[in-house]
Amino acid sequence: MAITSTVSSDGKDVTIQVSGRFDFSTHQDFMRAYKEHEKGENRFIVDLSEAEYMDSSAMGMLLQLREYSNKQSGCVTLRGGSGAIQEILRIANFGKIFTIE
C-alpha cells in the first residue's frame, strides 16, 4: 500500500494518491499526506483510481480529512475508484458531503 501526495503548480490543490488497500494500516501515512499542509488552506483530491480495496476505517479517514479542511464546500474531491469502491461511497451517501468524480 502506498500513499503519496503532490501539490499543484499554483499550490492550492493537494492530490493524495492511494494505491492498493485503503484500510487502517494506511492511517498514519494518509494523515501525514494531508497534515503536511496548512489546515483549511488547500483543496484536497483523493485519487482512488489505484485503490484495490476500501473499508470503514478508510471512510473514517476521509471524514477526518474533511474535518481538517474545515468542511468547506468542494474542499475534498474523491476521484476514481473501482466499481466496488464507488458502490461503497454511494451506499454511505458520501456524495452528499464530498465531490465524487
pLDDT one-digit tens code per residue, 39-49: 877 899 999 99
Provide the pLDDT confidence category of residue 72 given band limits of 50, 70 and 90: low
Average pLDDT, the chain: 91
- Residue 77 carries which side chain, given as an amino acid letter? T
Report how many domains make up the chain. 1
CB atoms within 10 A of CB 99: 15
d(C-alpha 24, C-alpha 26), whole Å:
5
CATH number, domain of 9, equals 3.30.750.24
As a whole number, mean pLDDT of residues 77-97 equals 93
pLDDT reading at 73 higher than 70: no
Total-model pTM? 0.91
pLDDT reading at 71 higher than 80: no
